[in-house]
């Protein structure tokens, strides 16, 4: 492995870390006390700096070092977390991303501008570092601990108390003894880390003897502790009882407000604990009185807040947050079990498996011709294994769509600020898997749709309030699997598409003939036409009419489709449907005249023989309707549609396919059954053929075309609407006659 390869690994790793850092920063923005998010941010920068050092990337190291210094202070609670800090760190992350792009040797368009940001960013980082407070107003790190009071932005700790010892407040839970934990053992251990200057045992929680359970623990302690040990070391003493206990750690010279909070939360009652603290020397009488005075003044709001922090949070919310955190941790540690493999190697493997599938099909065919039962059985066995290997190989390339989604929280945050809107992003189904190549290519179209929804979909706050909607708009990204496809929805609860406006504009542009009857779906799809834009004002985000057509083109290039559902005043849902993989699929082989075609098996619903009566009636037409158990099913007769000549068979069959919520029947001569299909792209000349999505090689060595079911279904079911439109407009476009 050359240094260059390792550098690539570094680049990939650094990008991942930056993404993770962005996530953490956004989490921090929601909850500035999120200790885990602070640590994660710190770790990201720390790791990037460390690895960059190995490659002598001095520029990067120097910058990361300053950011790391600041984050270290933030972690110690010496620099307050606020909006400005997060904005600054996000900008730093962007700048680091730029440096990494340069290291990766990528062309960076505005390199000069980016580079010009460096001195400003460094100056701002230094300013934040300079504003740090003395190393005492530490923030609580564990969620079990009492939430710390707001740390002052600059200067000294607000109103520090005089004593120079740690104050540790412990309330052991009733289960501690049953769990084999002896409170005394922790105190003894603490004694090895420093000197317990003062200890008060609290036994007030102990019930009357008759109500007491001898196996329960009712004790609490207030300790004053002199030690040179780090906060982490002191804190870790209680690792094993943290879940069952209330532990509050106040560093030396904490602010009086921290003590106040401790007193307010004490189950023993305010006065009682105050006395204890004075008696132990943690607080002077004067400090206690000052604290109580402040408590009285600020009582209503402050106490209310405390109650909300302590009790007011609904249990399910806390539970969900904990589970999420736990999952995040699991994911992170799982990462260590991954192996990084060059994507090209996987590509090669999948191509080889493709060849194996084709060769296997040919061998199976030969075995069947030979009529040798043993051989046929052996080949069937081989076939099953090949199928297994195919699935495994393809699954190697499957990644969670979350990878595409995780850049959106940042985008939504930035854009909604820019637009002055309040938008919440909800992501569901991030664990849905699809082909890596698709994930990579879907990012840009998704980005466009998301921006579009935020800009045009979701109304301004005033408008929303006027319509009786909540001020906060909601944008959701939702992914799920549906019969061989992955569906990605971008939905907003905004104003919805305005049908009349779109139609007027389309007529204006000559996209629609006057009087032409169009379904809602058709009208909405007009926004994907090149050069179409209804935005009254062009913002710098969207509205220039470039994009939506590009979105559709990009999605079509992935053999996917996009669909719009919208209700005026309620919202819009853009639904992207993509094939799960672009390499090998389970196909269904059919024959029309002398040619074989493949349909993706996932889209095939059922097959039936075409009734004789229907046959005679429909002969010679490329499309007609079939009565399928009472449902009018649009049918396409492939023989006529594709102009295939050749002997017609005695019987014809209908293959019923479904795509999205539309169904259609395809009339074919013979059903040849399942077939493992290695998709080969069509040559340049055939790219624009409508109705075909690729080709494949059969066991006989012949080429079969893969039918593009979405297009066929669309054509079949759209025909009716079009015909209606034509007759209304009094003009005939197509050559077919209505059935």
Contact residues for another protein (CB under 8 A)? 177-182, 185-186, 188-189, 192, 237, 239-241, 243-244, 326, 329-330, 333-334, 336-337
Q: What's the token pair of residue 670?
A: 């013979």
DSSP H or E stretch at residue 485: strand 485-492
Question: Which of 445, 443, 548, 423 minimizes the C-alpha distance to 492?
Answer: 423
Q: Measuring CA to CA, which residue among 222, 210, 226, 327 is closest to residue 268?
A: 222
Least gap, CB of 233 to another protein (angstroms): 10
Q: Which of these, 499, 453, 496, lies nearest to 476 by C-alpha position?
A: 453
How far is residue 448 from each of residues 307, 433, 546, 561, 656, measured CA to CA in Å? 43, 21, 10, 15, 35
Q: For another protein, which is the closer residue by CB, 240 or 532?
A: 240
In this structure, are residues 478 and 491 in contact, taking their beta carbons and an 8 Å threshold?
yes
Quote the DSSP letter at residue 693. E
- Considering the complex, state which of residue 65 and residue 242 has its C-beta at the smaller distance from another protein: 242
Q: How many CB atoms lie within 10 A of CB 567?
A: 12
Nearer to another protein, 334 or 616 (CB): 334
**Other CB atoms within 10 A of residue 689 CB:** 11
Closer by beta carbon to another protein, 31 or else 330 = 330
The residues, any chain, with a CB within 8 Å of residue 395's CB and separated by 6 or more, are 433
* Shortest CB 265 distance to another protein, Å: 24
Nearer to another protein, 190 or 412 (CB): 190
Q: Which is nearer to another protein, 236 or 483 (CB)?
A: 236
Nearest distance from residue 333's CB to another protein, in Å?
5
- Whole-number Cα distances in Å, 639 to 275, 653, 666: 96, 12, 10
Q: Is 365 exposed, middle or buried (0-12, 13-18, 19+ CB in 10 A)?
A: middle
Kindly tell me which of 59 and 185 has the beta carbon lying closer to another protein: 185
Residue with smaller CB distance to another protein, 165 or 241: 241
Provide, for the chain, the percentages of residues in helix, strand and coil under a 3-state DSSP scheme, each rounded to the nearest 5.
Answer: 50, 20, 30
Q: Give the residue with the Cβ less far from another protein, 27 or 190.
A: 190
Closest contact distance (angstroms) between CB of 73 and another protein is: 28
Considering the complex, state which of residue 177 and residue 709 has its C-beta at the smaller distance from another protein: 177
**Least distance to another protein from the beta carbon of 188, Å?**
5
Q: Closest by alpha carbon to 394, among 349, 429, 425? A: 349
Per DSSP, the chain holds a count of helices (H) and strands (E) of 24, 21
Which of 334, 339 has the CB closer to another protein? 334
Q: Are strands 485-492 and 166-171 parallel, antiparallel or unpaired?
A: unpaired
From the list 528, 523, 562, 564, the residue with the least C-alpha distance to 545 is 528
Sign, CA torsion 355/358/359/360: positive
In the bound complex, what is the minimum distance in angstroms from residue 145's beta carbon to another protein?
Answer: 18
For residue 466, how many other CB atoms are within 10 A of its CB? 10
Name the minimum Å distance from CB 48 to another protein: 22
Query: Least CB distance from residue 334 to another protein, whole Å?
Result: 6
Cα atoms found within 13 Å of the Cα of residue 703, Cβ hemisphere only: 8
């Amino acid at each position: 492995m050359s240094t260059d390869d390792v550098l690539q690994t570094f680049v990939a790793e650094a990008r991942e870390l930056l993404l993770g850092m962005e996530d953490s920063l956004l989490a921090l923005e929601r909850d500035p006390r999120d200790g885990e998010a602070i640590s994660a941010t710190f770790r990201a920068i720390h790791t990037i700096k460390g690895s960059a050092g190995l490659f002598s990337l001095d520029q990067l190291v120097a910058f990361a070092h300053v950011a790391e210094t600041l984050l270290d202070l933030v972690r110690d609670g010496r620099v307050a977390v606020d909006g400005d800090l997060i904005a600054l760190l996000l900008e730093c992350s962007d700048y680091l991303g730029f440096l990494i792009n340069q290291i990766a040797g990528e062309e960076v368009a505005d390199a000069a501008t980016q580079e010009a940001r460096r001195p400003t960013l460094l100056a701002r980082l230094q300013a934040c570092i300079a504003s740090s407070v003395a190393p005492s107003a530490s923030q609580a790190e564990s969620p079990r601990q009492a939430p710390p009071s707001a740390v002052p932005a600059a200067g000294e700790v607000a109103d520090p108390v005089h004593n120079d010892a740690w104050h540790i407040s412990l309330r052991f839970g009733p289960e501690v003894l049953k769990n084999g934990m002896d409170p005394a053992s922790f105190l003894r251990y603490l004694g090895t880390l420093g000197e317990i200057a003062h200890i008060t045992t609290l036994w007030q929680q102990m019930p009357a003897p008759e109500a007491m359970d001898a196996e329960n623990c009712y004790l609490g302690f207030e300790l004053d502790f002199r030690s040179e040990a780090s906060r982490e070391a002191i804190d870790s003493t209680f690792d094993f009882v943290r879940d069952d206990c209330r532990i509050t750690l106040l560093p030396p010279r904490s602010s009086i407000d921290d003590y106040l909070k401790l007193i307010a939360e004490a189950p023993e009652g305010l006065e009682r604990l105050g006395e204890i603290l004075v008696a132990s020397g943690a607080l002077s009488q004067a400090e206690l009185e000052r604290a109580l005075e402040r408590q009285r003044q600020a009582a209503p709001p402050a106490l209310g807040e405390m109650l909300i922090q302590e009790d007011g949070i609904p249990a399910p919310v806390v539970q969900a947050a904990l589970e999420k955190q736990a999952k995040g941790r699991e994911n992170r540690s799982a990462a260590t079990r991954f192996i990084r493999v060059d994507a090209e190697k996987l590509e090669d493997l999948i191509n080889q498996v493709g060849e194996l599938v084709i060769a296997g099909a040919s061998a199976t065919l030969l075995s069947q011709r030979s009529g040798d039962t043993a051989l046929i059985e052996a080949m069937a066995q081989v076939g099953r294994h090949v199928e297994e290997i195919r699935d495994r190989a393809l699954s190697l390339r499957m990644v969670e769509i979350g990878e595409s989604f995780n850049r959106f929280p940042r985008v939504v945050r930035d854009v909604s600020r820019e637009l002055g809107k309040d938008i919440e992003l909800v992501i569901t189904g991030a664990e849905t898997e699809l082909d890596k190549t698709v994930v990579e290519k879907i990012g840009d179209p998704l980005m466009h749709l998301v921006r579009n929804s935020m800009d045009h979909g979701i109304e301004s706050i005033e408008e929303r309030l006027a319509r009786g909607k909540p001020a906060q708009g909601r944008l959701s990204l939702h992914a799920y699997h549906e019969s061989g496809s992955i569906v990605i929805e971008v939905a907003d609860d905004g104003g919805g598409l305005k049908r009349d406006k779109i139609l007027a504009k389309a007529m204006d542009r000559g996209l629609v003939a006057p009087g032409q009857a169009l379904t809602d779906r058709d009208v909405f799809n007009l926004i994907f036409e090149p050069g179409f834009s209804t935005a009254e004002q062009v913002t710098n985000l969207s509205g220039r009419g470039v994009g939506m057509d590009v979105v559709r083109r990009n999605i079509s290039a992935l053999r996917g489709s996009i669909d719009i559902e919208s209700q005026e005043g309620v919202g819009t849902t853009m639904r992207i449907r993509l094939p799960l993989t672009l390499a090998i699929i389970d196909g269904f082989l059919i024959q029309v005249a002398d040619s074989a075609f493949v349909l993706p098996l996932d889209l095939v619903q059922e097959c039936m023989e075409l009734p004789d009566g229907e046959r005679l009636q429909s002969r010679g037409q490329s499309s007609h309707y079939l009565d399928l158990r009472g449902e009018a099913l649009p049918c396409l007769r492939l023989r006529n549609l594709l102009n295939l000549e050749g002997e017609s068979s005695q019987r014809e069959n209908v293959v019923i396919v479904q795509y999205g919520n539309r169904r259609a029947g395809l009339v074919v001569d013979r059903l040849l059954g399942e077939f493992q299909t290695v998709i080969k792209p069509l040559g340049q000349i055939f790219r624009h053929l409508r109705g075909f999505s690729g080709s494949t090689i059969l066991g006989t060595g012949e080429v079969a075309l893969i039918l593009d079911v979405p297009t066929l279904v669309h054509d079949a079911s759209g025909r009716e609407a079009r015909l209606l439109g034509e007759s209304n407009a009094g003009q005939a476009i197509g050559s077919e006659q209505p059935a």
